[in-house]
Structure 1
Amino acid sequence: MLELTNVEVYYGGIHALQGISIEVPDGKIVSLIGANGAGKSTTLNSIVGLVKPQAGSIAWNGKELTALGTKRIVSEGVVLVPEGRRIFPNLTTWENITLGAYHRSDKAGIERDRDMVYELFPRLKERSKQNAGTLSGGEQQMLAVARGLMSRPKLFMLDEPSLGLAPLIIKDIFDTIRKINAEGTTVLLVEQNARAALKIADSAYVMETGRITLSGTGKELLADTRIKEAYLGGVK
């Protein structure tokens, strides 16, 4: 289980995270929704060590992460697919995927996992020799997810995976997230597409200006009139 307890983050004079507490149980999908600037990406960056909290605790299966570097956190099985994909455009699809296993030395396991992500994303196999910068937006997002999976995550965090994608591609991405979770990987999902994020969530949190303002199951929040008015296009 991942547990954030009273986490505080400042950027200069900006109080980006104001004592947030979140639980991500093993084997579940937890969604974090909210408007731009609410602190969602800062939360993920804090978990993976890219941002250091000024106060509070971030514990993964009882181990405190705040004192660890990002490489060590990834080796513990905590992996982030960042917003904007951050692929390497001048490297091939194959090279990008292989870079996801940079901290691993088990060659046979890497080969098996590469086959696994190609099975999950057949289009990437078809484009394995193609430079990643020439892929479509949806294919680049698939590549970012595939690269993350090569790290063998126990906790897989995705930051805005649907951003800028067509509806059919969004459906494919969310179907893939379900499959990854069904195979035993815990998922923490940050999304502005609140409807899609809540539909697949076991539990969810709403974040506003650095605070958690609502929490519940995905179904509960989908039915909440406050969520409908703020994030789902009004009460229906």
Structure 2
Amino acid sequence: MLTIRNLNVHYGGIHALRGIDMDIPENKIVTLIGANGAGKSTTLRSIMGLTKISGGSIQYNGEELTMHKTKDIVEKGIVLVPEGRRVFPNLTVEENLILGAYSRKDKEGIKKDMDWVYGLFPRLKERLWQKAGTMSGGEQQMLAVGRGLMSKPKILMMDEPSLGLAPLLVKEIFNIIKEIHRQGMTILLIEQNAKAALEIADYGYVLETGAIVLEGKGKDLLTNDEVKNAYLGDAK
């Protein structure tokens, strides 16, 4: 579905991504784990056309994306839920969600998807007219995911969705990710919470200083000694 080959990115003299190869198959959860500064967010930004690449190929269903604008990539069905949530603080929950569907023209479909998002996130429905900036971090994260879903993506990319959340909310966010996937969504997930990400991932990649150093099924990486020592803390 999404194929990345020999992806390179430079920031000035820094070689931020070093020949990355990744595959995101349809209806799978793929996770990319690694330390801060490893290049995880740069990978997602490159896919979205937000970061200029210096070499390589990004193909979606055989079509090269690297020459497309971000708006066109979104319209093709690839959507990023950014790190830090980035909701519009002075707009209401409903207004934020409507903005997620800005490129769509199907009014009935938009209404149907709004109801679907409210079904996934009942708390958002309860706070329909609340300004996003007054919501808790967990509620804002739900809104950011819901806004992403309103564009009717085929691939939903999520950058650190559990960052800064209390453990109970982290569990809730991951349950929602699993439910979205169960309903047919392809997901590319970046997470510092490597254990939680690998537990739900079909496949995972480990990124270190801009290069893929390990890859495999999520459950296999969970039991890999290198991954345990570097990212999972106490492996007992």
TM-score by length of 1: 0.99
Cα distance in 2 for partners of 1:235, 1:161 equals: 23
1:205 and 2:205 matched: yes
1:113 and 2:113 matched: yes
Deviation digits for residues 37-73 of structure 1 (CA, Å, limit 9, x no counterpart): 0000000000011012110000011010000000000
Amino acid aligned to 1:172? E
1:70 and 2:70 matched: yes
* Alignment match, 2:222: 222
Amino acid aligned to 1:56? G
Per mean C-alpha deviation after superposition, the further-off stretch among 178-187 and 205-214 is 178-187
* Alignment match, 1:124: 124
Deviation digits for residues 4-57 of structure 1 (CA, Å, limit 9, x no counterpart): 000000011111000000001111000000000000000000001101211000
Deviation digits for residues 93-117 of structure 1 (CA, Å, limit 9, x no counterpart): 1100110000011111111110100
Q: Deviation at 1:126? A: 0.4
* Alignment match, 1:58: 58
* Alignment match, 1:182: 182
Q: For residues 3-14 of structure 1, what are the structure 2 equivalents within 5 Å?
A: 3-14=3-14
Amino acid aligned to 1:164? G
Q: Deviation at 1:234? A: 3.5
Task: Give the gaps of 5 or more residues in structure 2.
Answer: none
| Partner secondary structure for residue 221 of structure 1 | helix
Cα distance in 2 for partners of 1:134, 1:234 equals: 37
Cα distance in 2 for partners of 1:20, 1:228 equals: 22
* Alignment match, 2:151: 151
Cα distance in 2 for partners of 1:110, 1:2 equals: 25
* Alignment match, 1:87: 87
* Alignment match, 1:26: 26
Amino acid aligned to 1:189? L
Q: Deviation at 1:168? A: 0.7
Structure 1 runs (4+) greater than 4 angstroms displaced: none
| Partner secondary structure for residue 108 of structure 1 | helix
- The percentage of aligned residue pairs carrying the same residue is 65
- How many residues align structurally? 236
Task: Give the gaps of 5 or more residues in structure 1.
Answer: none
Cα distance in 1 for partners of 2:235, 2:200 equals: 20
Amino acid aligned to 2:16? A
RMSD of aligned residue pairs (Cα, Å)? 0.6
TM-score by length of 2: 0.99
1:162 and 2:162 matched: yes
* Alignment match, 2:45: 45
| Partner secondary structure for residue 83 of structure 2 | coil
